[in-house]
Amino acid sequence: MAQGLEVALTDLQSSRNNVRHHTEEITVDHLLVRRGQAFNLTLYFRNRGFQPGLDNIIFVVETEDAVYLDSEPQRQEYVMNDYGFIYQGSKNWIRPCPWNYGQFEEKIIDICLKLLDKSLHFQTDPATDCALRGSPVYVSRVVCAMINSNDDNGVLNGNWSENYTDGANPAEWTGSVAILKQWYATGCQPVRYGQCWVFAAVMCTVMRCLGIPTRVITNFDSGHDTDGNLIIDEYYDNTGRILGNKKKDTIWNFHVWNECWMARKDLPPGYGGWQVLDATPQEMSNGVYCCGPASVRAIKEGEVDLNYDTPFVFSMVNADCMSWLVQGGKEQKLHQDTSSVGNFISTKSIQSDERDDITENYKYEEGSLQERQVFLKALQKLKAGSFHSSQRGAELQPSRPTPLSRDSPRSLHTPSLRPSDVVQVSLKFKLLDPPNMGQDICFVLLALNVSSQFKDLKVNLSAQSLLHDGSPLSPFWQDTAFITLSPKEAKTYPCKISYSQYSQYLSTDKLIRISALGEEKSSPEKILVNKIITLSYPSITINVLGAAVVNQPLSIQVIFSNPLSEQVEDCVLTVEGSGLFKKQQKVLLGVLKPQHRASIILETVPFKSGQRQIQANMRSNKFKDIKGYRNVYVDFAL
């Protein structure tokens, strides 16, 4: 009888296999292969050679791939691309923020595996946790909870207070690599600080590194419904100023989450594909701060009883908004808007720097019968389930609009509202010039009398800064207009908010809400109009001086300026780019004089070929996030 084979050495052919599996940018020293694809290895035997027909070698493998995307361009974008854009701003002014995901950078794979081992699941029951790591549903929930630090030593501390003295302002980050490496280097202590786009960007890095197709999604006018009734309540005083919400319902100017591609064998057929995962710690899910995976198709169809956290995600994209006037201790309903929440849902296009609008993936067209039917179906499921019921049951049914003129960004594509039978006056704000940081904001209030009678209006106007999560700050500007309108007459009332009036009250988000609450002498009805203004900065300009070639010196020019008419101090320029810089570059610029424009030259040696991106940010004591980027194609060395 032939002697059994004894393995002396196994050659995993790491370099060759990793190239074929598109993991060579992570490492060529260790075997790192992707699911569902063949790889080669060589076995060397100690006692004798392998004899075909006599010897049998059995390999036990699992070939199922629950995250397989059959489109090569999609795989390149959602697994392989190490940079991208996160959309911010407002629906009227959508701004791409460049981001370095860097999932193939040195040590990132080790950090991602450490992240899994630091989870509460692994700490509690490591055997079960490891056994479940083949499930993308399980892994995505674990990662989602570990990106925030609310339950554990997760990667990021969230902070929406505007006080970041003991950490980094979330607006300053330009990539995930510095965040993940800081977390790892400090013994897995949470990094300070993050907000929604930072949580989503870091999760994108981790999931792409683990081979799960992932993209970053921005939802403009995103609902946060705390009581599960699919109604977001907003409260105003008699000046039109939005009040802090006693129920904590809010409409975020924008909110950012992830979609991950996976099969959902735990759901009925047809609900696999893109799944929402939201690492921003808003509400608890099964006792921990995570959200999802929630099937995008289930959200569109109102199937809010399917796992996980589908009701909360549904409310983010399709809740109704109720406006209330608070006066004399009483609340007066102004309007119920059925189309203000969930607009211009955006992600980066495949292999392009353009923006894709994917709103139709989440809901049927606003104003359509299908959309209302789905809303009511979701509402009935919530009522029938173990969710919170409505505080104002009768008002959950879609109602005809009462007197309101909305010029908010949330009504850009809303069908025109019926003027009140009593007031028959519409109000609208119009900007006269682009709202640039450091300059006065000039706008007019347009008043139109659509009736055949004279109208005497008193209009209270106000302006206040907003945080991107919808939280209002104190008003810094108020005015009162008295407008008399002849039948069918239109008039404009000019307004100006000077830089000196708003500069000290502005938040990092650079959002200003202007509001007007009008009333006509002969009617108790009120007319509310508001508009959100996003102030813009001039971007950083980046020029690549010469051809970019692997292992060859490259000069990069960065041009920046102080856009303000006052001196700024503590200026710091941050530059990074996977495959171009080994680590994030920080340049101390010191003081910049008013309107001063300057440039610096950075030297680097690219170490990876292909399409790359440089990301830059400049901060000072007056601003935190002047951004810029430049795409660079790096050739192989000759």
Mean pLDDT of 444-473: 93
How is 487-506 classified by DSSP, letter by letter? TT-EEEEEEEE-HHHHGGG-
**Is the confidence at residue 396, as pLDDT, over 50?**
no
pLDDT of residue 113: 97
Q: Could you tell me the strand order of the sheet in which 626-634 lies?
A: 585-592, 568-576, 610-619, 626-634
Return d(Cα 352, Cα 613) in angstroms, integer.
13
Mean pLDDT of 432-440: 93
pLDDT of residue 145: 98
Mean pLDDT of 473-482: 95
- 550, 620 contact by CB (below 8 A): no
pLDDT of residue 532: 92
**Is the confidence at residue 419, as pLDDT, over 60?**
no
Place of tokens 């589908």: 310
- 258, 200 contact by CB (below 8 A): yes
Domains of the chain listed by start with CATH number: 1-63 (no CATH), 72-386 (3.90.260.10), 425-534 (2.60.40.10), 541-634 (2.60.40.10)
**Is the confidence at residue 465, as pLDDT, over 70?**
yes
Q: Is the pTM here over 0.95, yes or no? A: no
Mean pLDDT of 295-303: 98
Mean pLDDT of 43-55: 87
pLDDT of residue 478: 96
pLDDT of residue 335: 81
pLDDT of residue 2: 62
Q: How confident is the model at residue 408 (pLDDT cuts 50, 70, 90)?
A: very low
pLDDT of residue 84: 98
What pLDDT digit, counting tens, does each position of 536-565 carry?
988 999 999 999 999 999 999 999 999 999
Tell me the chain's radius of gyration from C-alpha atoms: 28
Q: What are phi and psi of 89, to 5 degrees?
A: 95, -130
pLDDT of residue 403: 36
pLDDT of residue 561: 94
pLDDT of residue 389: 35
Who wins on pLDDT, 216 or 351?
216
What pLDDT digit, counting tens, does each position of 122-144 carry?
999 999 999 999 999 999 999 99
Q: How confident is the model at residue 62 (pLDDT cuts 50, 70, 90)?
A: low
- Which distant-in-sequence residues (6+ apart) come within 8 Å of 316 by Cβ? 219, 222, 223, 224, 225, 255, 341, 342
Q: Which of 39-43, 498-502, 543-547 has the lowest mean pLDDT?
A: 39-43
pLDDT of residue 387: 46
What pLDDT digit, counting tens, does each position of 594-614 carry?
999 999 999 999 999 999 999
Q: Which of 31-45, 402-416, 417-431 has the lowest mean pLDDT?
A: 402-416
Q: What are phi and psi of 121, to 5 degrees?
A: -65, -45
Dmax of the chain from CA atoms?
111
- Which distant-in-sequence residues (6+ apart) come within 8 Å of 187 by Cβ? none
**Is the confidence at residue 627, as pLDDT, over 50?**
yes
Q: How confident is the model at residue 52 (pLDDT cuts 50, 70, 90)?
A: confident
- Provide the 10 A C-beta neighbour count for residue 368: 11
What pLDDT digit, counting tens, does each position of 230-272 carry?
999 889 988 888 887 665 788 999 999 999 999 999 999 999 9
**Is the confidence at residue 173, as pLDDT, over 80?**
yes
The two structure tokens encoding residue 532? 């959100």
Residues with catalytic annotation? 196, 255, 278
pLDDT of residue 36: 76
What pLDDT digit, counting tens, does each position of 178-195 carry?
999 999 999 999 999 999
Mean pLDDT of 618-637: 95
pLDDT of residue 500: 94
The two structure tokens encoding residue 600? 């610096």
pLDDT of residue 386: 54
What pLDDT digit, counting tens, does each position of 309-358 carry?
999 999 999 999 998 999 888 998 888 888 899 999 999 999 899 999 99
- Provide the 10 A C-beta neighbour count for residue 153: 17
**Is the confidence at residue 308, as pLDDT, over 90?**
yes
pLDDT of residue 587: 97
Nearest to 144 by CA among 283, 35, 5, 349: 283
**Is the confidence at residue 392, as pLDDT, over 50?**
no
- Which distant-in-sequence residues (6+ apart) come within 8 Å of 116 by Cβ? 122, 129, 133, 139, 142, 143, 146
Q: What is the DSSP letter of 581?
A: -
Residue type (1 letter), 566: E
Return d(Cα 537, Cα 628) in angstroms, integer.
11
Q: Which of 164-173, 478-487, 522-531, 579-588 has the lowest mean pLDDT?
A: 522-531
Angle between helices 177-185 and 108-117 (to 10 degrees): 60
Who wins on pLDDT, 288 or 334?
288
- Which distant-in-sequence residues (6+ apart) come within 8 Å of 368 by Cβ? none
Q: How confident is the model at residue 423 (pLDDT cuts 50, 70, 90)?
A: low
Binding site as annotated, residues for Ca(2+): 318, 320, 366, 371
pLDDT of residue 117: 97
Q: How confident is the model at residue 51 (pLDDT cuts 50, 70, 90)?
A: confident
Burial classification of residue 283, based on how many CB atoms lie within 10 Å of its CB (0-12 exposed, 13-18 middle, 19 or more buried): middle
- Which distant-in-sequence residues (6+ apart) come within 8 Å of 522 by Cβ? 456
pLDDT of residue 427: 95
Q: Which of 25-34, 421-430, 547-556 has the lowest mean pLDDT?
A: 421-430
